Amino acid sequence: MILAFIFGASFFAGILAPASIQKEANEAFKFIAEEFQGLSGGTLFFYILSHNLLASILILVTGVLVGIIPILAISANGFLLGVLHRQAAEILGYSKAALEVLPHGVFEIPALLIAASYGLWLGVMVVRRMRGKESTPLRFHIRHALRQFLAIVFPLLIVAAAIETALIVL
């Protein structure tokens, strides 16, 4: 719940960001998008999926650093999506821009939030262990988080990559 609030607040901050920050965010997005240009359907799908998998696994695993990285990642993703949504809304209108964000909102963002939630949970377990309030070895918590990742996040990312690939190709 906290991470969803952070994401939403960051999204609205991105929408309200000054033009100079929007320009920098747009340049960063163009730099990333250049990697996708010229890729065929299957290659594009694999590239999007592998990029999203790596990012979400890193968000989950780096949670052991007291949960700071998952919070920063959620904030950055929300902000960037807010900036991109505003720019799309200025060109396409708000309803069409919302449709552009929809595939992300239904599959990719929940996957990211779940991965970050488990990362934050791992951070809490580390703190509890440091305070002597948790006796279970951290590796058991990490295994549990990775099993949940494979059962929930991975399928969501597959669907998100398929939809994103279809939208780019079409």
User: Which regions of the chain are under pLDDT 50?
Assistant: none
Look at residue 154 in the predicted model and tell me its pLDDT.
97
Look at residue 124 in the predicted model and tell me its pLDDT.
92
Look at residue 32 in the predicted model and tell me its pLDDT.
77
| Contact status, residue 38 vs residue 30, Cβ threshold 8 Å | no
Report how far Cα 63 is from the mean position of its chain's Cα atoms: 14
Residues 6+ apart with CB under 8 A from 75: 6, 7, 10
pLDDT in tens, 42-84: 888 999 999 999 999 999 999 988 888 999 999 999 998 899 8
Look at residue 84 in the predicted model and tell me its pLDDT.
86
CA dihedral 32, 45, 48, 118 (to 10 degrees): 170
